[in-house]
Amino acid sequence: AQSVSQHNHHVILSEAASLELGCNYSYGGTVNLFWYVQYPGQHLQLLLKYFSGDPLVKGIKGFEAEFIKSKFSFNLRKPSVQWSDTAEYFCAVSLSGNTGKLIFGQGTTLQVKP
Amino acid sequence: SQTIHQWPATLVQPVGSPLSLECTVEGTSNPNLYWYRQAAGRGLQLLFYSIGIDQISSEVPQNLSASRPQDRQFILSSKKLLLSDSGFYLCAWSPDSGTQYFGPGTRLTVL
């Protein structure tokens, strides 16, 4: 069965520190990849996505992610985090050509200290 | 623009009682619709999805059912709630099989 694994469950950083959240998936076919974010008290919202093309994708608020097909990975990065980045981050995968069903990772809680 | 609504926002129900959670989408037609559940400390798990009226697929065996009586309405139901049904329920829509957009969610506590 397909699965998504996020290695870091809880990350604590100081402001201006760099961030990298790991995400690996298990599926041998073509996939669409997503990072969603849930800020405290807000809806789950799309941070960035990869469908095809340039494997380095840029999202909102200075986030980016790199799709490395050989490693089945889609890690999320930000060079310098802010206190407002405190949130829960979810990696998700859908199978191309499917009904769009998303398989989510367990989520990573990021706490940024001012 | 498109918007997605869920209600109620929170719900506390006794074990054995029925359940009905509603999700509606505005500003689009014939969306794919999805129900997810997030249990405490865990990721989101897909429960049901629908590609059209009265077309529902279940992803996991469970105590819940879903219905889509209208194009932009998706309902999650149960005849008798279990303690294990507690969680955060999210509805999502997609114009195709790509990006999904999520509603505000319903927090259900079964006592």
pLDDT, residue B93, reads 95
CA distance A5 to B82: 28
| Tokens read off for A60 | 């909102």
Tell me the pLDDT of chain B averaged across its residues: 92
Check CB contact under 8 Å for A46 and B101: yes
Residue B87 touches chain A, beta carbons under 8 Å: no
Check CB contact under 8 Å for B97 and A90: no
- Model confidence over B56-107: pLDDT tens digits? 999 887 889 999 999 999 999 999 999 999 999 999 999 987 899 999 999 9
Residue A99 touches chain B, beta carbons under 8 Å: yes
Enumerate the residues of chain A whose CB falls inside 8 A of the CB of residue B90: 44
Cβ neighbours of A29 (radius 10 Å):
9
SS3 A69: helix
Return the H-helix or E-strand segment holding B39. none
- Model confidence over A3-21: pLDDT tens digits? 899 988 999 999 999 999 9
Check CB contact under 8 Å for B44 and A4: no
Q: Which residue of B has its CA nearest to A109?
A: B41
Check CB contact under 8 Å for A44 and B42: no
pLDDT, residue A39, reads 94
- Model confidence over A54-96: pLDDT tens digits? 999 999 999 999 999 999 999 999 999 999 999 999 999 998 6
pLDDT, residue A28, reads 78
In this complex, which of B41, B49, B102 lies closest to A99 when CB atoms are compared? B49
* Average pLDDT value for residue range B18-45: 91
